[in-house]
Amino acid sequence: MLYSVVICDLIYKLEELRDVYNDSTAKKILIEIEGLQKANPKSSDWENKLVEMIADRTKLLEISDVENINQLQKHRHLSAHPVLNQTSLLFKPNKENVKSHIINMLSGVLTKPPILSTKIFSELVNDLATNRDRFSEDKDLKRFLSAKYFKNLRQETLDDIFKKIWKLVFKLENEECDLNREINYRTINIIFALNPPEILKLLKTEEAHFDGILPKVCTNYFFNFLFDNPKAYNVLSELNKAHVDHEIENSLEFKFLSWFKFDSIMEYHEFILSEINDGGTFYLPMEIIHKLKELYKDFNMKEKFLDLYIAIFAKSNLFDTADRNFNQLIQPYLEDFSEGQLQNIVYAINNNGQLHNRGLARYSNRLVKAELDRKITDFKYSDLYNFRT
């Protein structure tokens, strides 16, 4: 029965490759098998030819899988056909033999998706390119990839895909890579999340393959990867770590993303506040601010997160930046700020001309003052000449 299931499964896999993926190799094998069956309907020789063709022309079966199928066939024939011997009994395999055959067929044939017999990486990246604007949510992309590609894949196959997509995201720059970098990057994160310990092991054991991150856009994606998967930093090569340190030293944005370098979130928080307070004014993209918000939320650090927002607001470098920072970082949280935090907002406005000279300053200041007066009835504004309402 197990042998019959395996042969049927191989036929079904070929049919799916032909019908779903338009696989020319699968088409030819099925045509040839059909010809053998018609030429000799009573013969089962086509079964042997089927296994040989699949092994020779596709990547579905390993050498060990073919040998396991052959051993299963031999035991099947002995069990199904009488062999005259001293007792004239059919061969009866023991439970250990049967269990071994079942395990071998499950791992070698039955749980493998048919796409393995084609060039899976080429099929995957072409699919990602075609659907790069289709799956806006990571959960939808993960569902699609898991259903079509990742379900039942062996870890070594996932490792190979991870390595190849890593190169497309972090080590190559051309028109095609630029168009598909975002969808490929999201796929890298999905593969990592499927089995983090195994991918971390891969990053460590084959660290040279993951060296050579290109600057600018590739490095930007690389920092986002480390931000989302902080354990990956510790297994990077020293060359990659040196690249990370160099970029942090020369970019405030990368400093904000560098929490993966610290032993604790509090150590990172103190570092980034010090960098802000000791530096000049700056502009920080909202996508980084949103990532920081989620990070602090994960650690249940709302008060520290509000301190960070105030520090960013205080260093607004332009009127437009100040307007955006107030609207996004201050106004939605006015009721949440403590008395001390509200006072720090007032001091920040008074001390930064980009905050107190902007067109919307008086309106914004009235909102801050109303909340502060509600919490502190005797706060003195007399020395804050630039805080005008």
Q: How many CB atoms lie within 10 A of CB 255?
A: 19
Per-residue pLDDT band for 28 (boundaries 50, 70, 90) equals very high
Distance, CA of 12 to chain centre: 31
Q: Which amino acid is at 22?
A: N
Give the mean pLDDT of 23-45. 90
Residues in the chain: 389
The band of 84, judged by pLDDT with boundaries at 50, 70 and 90, is low
| Residue 112: closest CA among 146, 153, 144 | 153
pLDDT tens digits, residue range 215-254? 999 999 999 999 999 999 999 999 999 999 999 999 999 9
**Region 172-178 average pLDDT:** 94
Residue 56 pLDDT greater than 60, yes or no: yes
Give the pLDDT of residue 89. Answer: 66
Closest CA to 13 of 114, 110, 107: 114
Please, what is the end-to-end C-alpha distance for the chain in angstroms? 85
What pLDDT does residue 14 have?
92
Instruction: Tell me how far apart the alpha carbons of residues 260 and 276 are, in angstroms, rounded to a whole number.
Output: 18
pLDDT band for 211, please (50, 70, 90 cuts).
very high
Does position 334 have pLDDT exceeding 70, yes or no? yes
pLDDT at 85: 55
- Per-residue pLDDT, averaged over 135-149, amounts to 91
pLDDT at 98 over 70: yes
Cβ(160)–Cβ(202) below 8 Å: no
Q: How far apart are CA 273 and CA 256, in angstroms?
A: 10
Residue with the bigger pLDDT between 301 and 121: it is 301
Single pTM value for the model: 0.76
Which residues, in sequence order, are bridge partners of residue 135?
A: none
Of 33-42, 114-123, 133-142, minimum mean pLDDT range: 114-123
Q: What is the pLDDT of residue 269?
A: 97
Q: What's the whole-number average pLDDT of the chain?
A: 91
Q: Are 78 and 72 in contact (CB under 8 A)?
A: no
Cα separation, 253 vs 230, in Å, equals 17
Alpha-helical segments (H) within 146-195 = 155-170, 175-194
Question: What's the mean pLDDT in 102-127?
Answer: 82
Domains of the chain, residue spans: 2-116, 119-256, 262-389
pLDDT of residue 32: 93
